[in-house]
Chain A
Amino acid sequence: KAGVTQTPRYLIKTRGQQVTLSCSPISGHRSVSWYQQTPGQGLQFLFEYFSETQRNKGNFPGRFSGRQFSNSRSEMNVSTLELGDSALYLCASSLGRVSYNEQFFGPGTRLTVL
C-alpha cells in the first residue's frame, strides 16, 4: 500500500507570493492533517480535514488555508508569504477520527521563503 505522498518536496518562493502544497493520503484514509515544523516552534498543528470538512484548526493567520477533495486528497495554501513561513510542512493521514487512529506522515514539503 502506498504511503502518504506530498508534492512538491522542495519549494523556494519570495515574500509576497503564494504557494499551494498537495497531499495524497494512504488509500482508504479519510482524515488529513497538516503541520508546520520549524526549529524554533517545533511541530505546530495547522488544520485537520475529514470528509471534505475542516474539523480542527490551529492558531495560524488566515493566510493559511486548506481544503480536502472527495478523494481525500488535500491541499494547503499560504498567501502573501512571509520569511517566517519557511518551514517543513508535514501532512499526515489517518483512517478515521477516533483516539486510536495513528497518523501516518508524508515526507514533507520544505518551503523556503526568500
Chain B
Amino acid sequence: AQKITQTQPGMFVQEKEAVTLDCTYDTSDPSYGLFWYKQPSSGEMIFLIYQGSYDQQNATEGRYSLNFQKARKSANLVISASQLGDSAMYFCAMREEGSSGGYQKVTFGTGTKLQVIP
C-alpha cells in the first residue's frame, strides 16, 4: 500500500487565490513527521513546512499552512495568496519514528504540479 498518496497530478490556481494540495498517508507508527517540499523547474527540493504527529496545532510558515487531520490521516498543504513563483511540483513526505528507537526512511508522494495563472 502507498504510504503517501497525492491524488492531484496537476492543479491550476489564479494568482492571489488560495489553493489546497491534498496528501493522505498510511502508518501504524504513533510517532511520525509530515513534510511538504517544493521543487521548482530548476530541480532543487525546498523544505516548506513540518507537522509532527503529536502536534496539537496545525503548522504554519508564512503563506503556507498544513491542515492536519490525524483521524483522517490527511496533511493537506494550503498556500494562501498564490504568487507566480509558487508554480512548481509539490511533494508530501513522511518519516516514521520506527520501533525500538530506530527510524524509517522518508517516503515521498508522487507530487502535485501547481501552476499559478496571472
Contacts and interface: CB of A to CB of B under 8 A. Distances in A.
Given A88-B43, A99-B53, A100-B50, A48 B97 contact: no
A55 B110 CA distance: 24
A92 B52 CA distance: 20
Interface stretch (B16-24, B31-39, B73-81): B31-39
Given A42-B110, A92-B45, A106-B44, A100 B52 contact: yes
Contact of B105 (A56, A98, A101, A107): A56
Contacts of B50: 100, 102
Contacts of B47: 102-105
Contacts of A107: 42-44
Q: Tell me the interface secondary structure of chain A in the complex.
A: strand
Interface string B29-69: 00111010100001111110010110000000000000000
Contacts of B108: 35, 42-43, 45
Interface in A62-114: 88, 90, 92, 97-108, 110
A5 B104 CA distance: 24
A42 to B, nearest CB: 5
B12 interface: no
Contacts of A88: 43
Max count, chain A CB within 10 A of own CB: residue among B47, B53, B96, B110: B47
Contact of A99 (B37, B45, B103): B103
A91 to B, nearest CB: 10
A43 B110 CA distance: 7
